[in-house]
Structure 1
């Protein structure tokens, strides 16, 4: 349809009132907005007789045209356009507000395009225009409101408008000069005598110019005026937003003395916060917290500097600010049901400790002496805030509230770790004393939440505790038997805490006797089995050198737990990992005895599942057993490296030199026939095949060279699977097998056969487009496979096991696929393949004879057929071509110059010639090639000069 006012008006009505046509109408209206006709119909749409929706579209269209298509306006029409726009603003001063605001934004864009040459001082002119006495039908309140609305959007439009760096610098200078007009106006408006509506718009205007960059010292008087309205309920939210903008602006830290002078104003909100907390006024508490945090976070260095400085008043005010933040952290009630502000302070506590620990030693000691009591108070607060509510109350919470509380506890744990960086051992002693006092008072049963909180916070700082600490942690662990574990949450947290001490326990094995029984007991309770199995896994992994005395106890309990059928899948898998870790330190005969005892029932069940008709139940059973075996294979490693101290002297020899076979090999050899049966029956199920491949991969990583005796059997299974249905997981394990054994003489035929089978089957997928589109995950993995083979096993690639030309063409096809990860993998292979030609005549010949296909596809991808995000990878391939065939690259690129519309209809012949020139200027410089490709792809896509290009180019 024609872009006429009538058609536009009809389309706008359809957009708002006919949902079925909304998408098509939106597309048409968008094209109308950028059309040349928009300069005409937009004014007609602003008629008094039009609907609000139509008027809004007209005003929005004017803004789009002025902001983005200013070059279409002839120079001799600048003044008339400004006059007409002012007339429309006067027309809509009484509303609708949404239309008026869009017209103001359009005027702001016009001002920014014409200053300073055409319109030398637009801000002054705007103020003067609306201060005239002879504007008909406008009250002083209306004039002030419209003027403030207009002034508010000027800096906002400056921030969002697409401008060159040079132009933005000019405009910033002009707007900074305009502050001499804006600040006095705002100072006169932000007074108690101003109407509430005008005052609120004045606050928004001030916040907008603050965002632009009013130096805080120049706006200090206005800031004092703003603080006077913080108690005004009607203006509270806007006042807080304005003050947060002031104190959080990135440049504010450059004026510490001004911020110090403003601190007393900030501290006055203490009483207001206390009253709001007492009245459960969460909105007011949240607003005050935002203000306090914006000051504290953004000026924490000033706070720290003031504490060791000589200005007593500043020190007192800064300490009061920290205590105010502490009182907000301690807001009464449970988060997020009864309070919603305490979490906002956590970032401040992190920033504060970061600034403290960065101090020089003398200053650090001075500040630490002052702030240690505050941090100890913070610990007291966190111990309260982290506590669970009573079960009856917690059960009434929604699922979302429970999840928020869980995340909140994790944030408290992080904050606890920051506090530990300040307090160190005194913090541990404080918590140990607290726990000891609870036990001595005999109230531990009634105060399980406090005990749980202590355990939680101990677990949070575990990673920071010195491994040599031997006072407080032993005392804590020795208290565990005296605690009545009659609550599931308490038990779980205690178990998680123990697990976090895994590394510390490796230095203090005498404490294992305190924790192992508790972990094993936890596995018997399904409600806490998750925590118990995770903790057992962590502890056994870290204490292998000391776990042997407890091995029978652990393995017996694990066997019972695995056979109980009460645990979840992940818990069974973790137990099996612990079993493998404990068995790793035992003699071969004992290992096999325990394995026979533990695994027999599970292998029998796996065999039973393999005989059943495929179903969801049998699949779940097979996956569980395969995963359990996989984790056992990953952890059961009887060949461990020797342990050395810091000087490199051997402390303990743990590498076993026995001639006994590795247990993983024995089990794998035993179950291979069973795995073959499962593969045959479940070959079309990706989940089962991936689990089998994962099992092989973990076994290979543990056995390494000892995998060789069974390699033929496994390789045969892999080839049969891949020939039937190609899976990406098969390529992954095949790659690892070939890389490990390709240099072994006796494994030559095996690796060669596997490589040939994989390449042959995959290349058949490339013979039909549908095969590629249905298996992009396979293509991605295959490209990675080929890259590794070309890099590490080139002798296999160059042998006549597959078509080198076919592999090269497959890489070209993979490079053109839409998935970014697949493109990256293909480009990686092509780069390796091109560079391999320097030492391989066969590869050099293939790349030379097919390079024109590669260049053609590269140019099409760069020209727009591939996503912008992969252009660096395309550039790297082009770089490889330049390095490998320097003498031919110019000729290959020249082919595109005379092709009309190739590789993009947006490219002119001069653009292509410039691209070739840029490439040939330094064809082996990675940065230069990437820059040339980036510029070329922007031109080809019509993005040169856009905001996207402006933001992307500096990152090259």
Structure 2
């Protein structure tokens, strides 16, 4: 079976039950991926057989099993069988299976057997659900078996933690009647379980974590009364753990979040609980301010997990208190909550700053639900102006990273903050938001090209929504875009990459501002000329791949801007149809996705022609190159050949 310590893959499928030890060793120890894959397939198939019940029980019972992995496989198989194949067992075997599993989990309660113990805890919880009336008092049985001595408390805690979780696990193959019956048993035992958890004296952090994890499971899936939660010592204790940090802080945070979600379901009923939580926020705020007193970057280096936990709790508190925030927006307690959430939104951590975005969206919706209440909207304008500034900062690129090679998460994060900008527009109005962003650009333009690019990125959305005004400062920016876009980029360097990306964003901005550009025909034509030149640019032969990728992305932006400008200004561009046709033909060498934008743009201008002869001529010039290319390919069919449209002999002209 073994060659050089590795199982021969071809032998695994040819043997029966006797292959189990070899397959287990291969799965857990083989360095060969193919062997591991075949072993996994064999073991998975074996677990689906009826004989797996007996084999897994023997693996857990035998004293001479040579490897712990075999026992883990036995425990995992037992869990799988109870979850998915319980129908295979006759009713008269239920009791024996239960007693055997109770013995197994007691045997593997030592710390070094924790993975086996966890699998058996899940299996026991599932068995309690599956047996239903055949085991009418599972919680009482577990307390009697494992609740009498400290040595077995960890077993009781783990099974108790799993019971409500598994009852809500819809991968468990059982029926709704059994789930409902188990739910009633859980609900009836809630007070007993919570009291047991409160009375436990934990000797170490690991024991306390098990207690908190069990408590979390029961408050998540049972209905505790508001007064019981308000008086429960675990709540202030959890806040203490979050302030202190350490191994218990994450579970403590989850408990606080779960309690807040419970409160949000019925604000009036859970008022006492909310008061307890509000009384505990001061300690978190003190820790938060102390960390940020070092600066945001230093705070993240010192305790990113702590900041994440505080952010989660404050945002969930804000979600729960939206009705109160609406009614008492100027109250000091509300202002402090909003200030902490604002500062979380501005942290330079993609994970943390994304957490509050849904809260700000919901709050904006609540404010706008009552448009007649202008005073209420005015009260939140300061908050959303700050959020608009935060959005610009969070959209600012890393000056030490090539933006053309940034991972997808950077782009996703910027898009998420554009969603926040949308919310700001709802509160501030597009015109007011435009003035704010332009003023921010004026104040921050000396801070570098990345700050300028972030403003362009946000302005693409804000400017497209704002009303076109003759005296707007935005015109000064629009008129400065073509020179910026046409300016040469330094040689291959980080500065060059950032400038090149800023040009790309400036092109996108110009396209989004088509409704402004079309009101000035001369500028419309010059913008179109500049964009067209970019579309015709080609990299020198043998250019590095990363430089070619930059050109490709800039041309993609240019093709989209070309389409937008043509669509918006089509009635002012009708005399340029010959030149537009020429560009259309010359850009057939571009990737098809880019060229389709150009086709849309040129086609919209041709379609706007009102004189029939000019329309016919323009349409013919638009269609003829494509037909010539198709006919050429039909005459010379070659597998995989792309359609090459030959340029028409039209004299090159500009758009001026």
Question: Could you state the TM-score of these two structures normalised by the residue count of structure 2?
Answer: 0.77
Aligned residue in 2 for 1:188: 199
Q: Give the alignment of 1:192-341 within 5 angstroms.
A: 194-215=203-224, 217=226, 218-220=228-230, 221=232, 222-230=234-242, 231-248=244-261, 252-253=265-266, 255-257=269-271, 258-277=273-292, 278=294, 279-282=298-301, 284-294=303-313, 296-297=315-316, 300=319, 302-308=321-327, 316-331=332-347, 334-335=348-349, 340-341=351-352
1:57 alignment partner, SS class: helix
Aligned residue in 1 for 2:57: 43
Deviations 1:551-601 (A, max 9, x none): 65456556655665466553674576478659943697x4466458x55xx
Measure the CA separation in 1 of the matches of 2:603 and 2:225: 60
Aligned residue in 2 for 1:350: 361
Measure the CA separation in 1 of the matches of 2:80 and 2:225: 33
User: Is the 8 Å Cα contact of residues 121 and 159 (structure 2) preserved in structure 1?
Assistant: yes
Matching of residue 422 in structure 1 with residue 430 in structure 2 = no
Aligned residue in 2 for 1:609: none
Of residues 603, 608, 631, the one that matches 1:634 is 603
1:417 alignment partner, SS class: helix
Aligned residue in 2 for 1:585: 571
User: Is the 8 Å Cα contact of residues 342 and 387 (structure 2) preserved in structure 1?
Assistant: yes
User: Is the 8 Å Cα contact of residues 375 and 423 (structure 1) preserved in structure 2?
Assistant: yes
Of residues 112, 121, 124, the one that matches 1:104 is 121
1:96 alignment partner, SS class: helix
Deviations 1:791-833 (A, max 9, x none): xxxxxxxxxxxxxxxxxxxxxxxxxxxxxxxxxxxxxxxxxxx
2:135 alignment partner, SS class: coil
Measure the CA separation in 1 of the matches of 2:532 and 2:99: 87
1:183 alignment partner, SS class: helix
Matching of residue 570 in structure 1 with residue 585 in structure 2 = no
Aligned residue in 2 for 1:83: 99
Aligned residue in 2 for 1:741: none
Greater displacement, 555-564 / 37-46:
555-564
Measure the CA separation in 1 of the matches of 2:136 and 2:258: 29
Measure the CA separation in 2 of the matches of 1:622 and 1:163: 54
1:210 alignment partner, SS class: helix
2:472 alignment partner, SS class: helix
- The number of residue pairs the alignment matches comes to 592
User: Cα distance, 1:99 vs. partner?
Assistant: 0.9
Aligned residue in 2 for 1:848: none
Measure the CA separation in 2 of the matches of 1:149 and 1:129: 13
Measure the CA separation in 2 of the matches of 1:157 and 1:178: 16
Higher relative contact order (CA 8 A, sep 6+): 2
Q: Give the alignment of 1:439-838 within 5 angstroms.
A: 444-445=445-446, 453-465=454-466, 467=467, 470=469, 474-478=471-475, 480=476, 515=478, 518-519=481-482, 522-523=485-486, 525=488, 527=500, 530-531=504-505, 533-540=507-514, 546=519, 548-550=521-523, 553-554=526-527, 557=530, 565=538, 568=552, 570=556, 573-574=559-560, 577=563, 584-585=570-571, 590-591=575-576, 594=579, 598=582, 620=589, 630-631=599-600, 633-639=602-608, 656-668=610-622, 671=625, 674-676=628-630, 678-680=632-634, 683-684=637-638, 686=640, 688-689=642-643
Measure the CA separation in 1 of the matches of 2:464 and 2:526: 28
Change (3 A) 1:291 1:247: farther
Q: Give the alignment of 1:392-431 within 5 angstroms.
A: 394-395=400-401, 399-400=405-406, 404-424=409-429, 426-431=432-437
Of residues 352, 375, 382, the one that matches 1:373 is 382
User: Is the 8 Å Cα contact of residues 560 and 594 (structure 2) preserved in structure 1?
Assistant: no
| Unpaired runs of at least 5, structure 1 | 134-139, 481-493, 495-514, 607-618, 641-655, 693-956
User: Cα distance, 1:446 vs. partner?
Assistant: 5.1
Measure the CA separation in 1 of the matches of 2:631 and 2:416: 49
User: Cα distance, 1:360 vs. partner?
Assistant: 7.2
User: Cα distance, 1:328 vs. partner?
Assistant: 1.8
Change (3 A) 1:7 1:582: closer
Structure with the greater alpha carbon radius of gyration: 1
User: Cα distance, 1:373 vs. partner?
Assistant: 3.4
Change (3 A) 1:657 1:296: same
Aligned residue in 2 for 1:118: 134
User: Cα distance, 1:375 vs. partner?
Assistant: 3.2
Measure the CA separation in 1 of the matches of 2:507 and 2:392: 26
Q: Give the alignment of 1:913-924 within 5 angstroms.
A: none
User: Is the 8 Å Cα contact of residues 229 and 235 (structure 1) preserved in structure 2?
Assistant: yes
Change (3 A) 1:251 1:177: farther
Matching of residue 29 in structure 1 with residue 29 in structure 2 = no
Measure the CA separation in 2 of the matches of 1:554 and 1:227: 58
Measure the CA separation in 2 of the matches of 1:687 and 1:516: 43
- CA RMSD in angstroms, aligned pairs only: 4.1
User: Cα distance, 1:126 vs. partner?
Assistant: 1.0
2:247 alignment partner, SS class: coil
Change (3 A) 1:633 1:378: closer
| Unpaired runs of at least 5, structure 2 | 1-13, 490-499, 540-550, 646-656
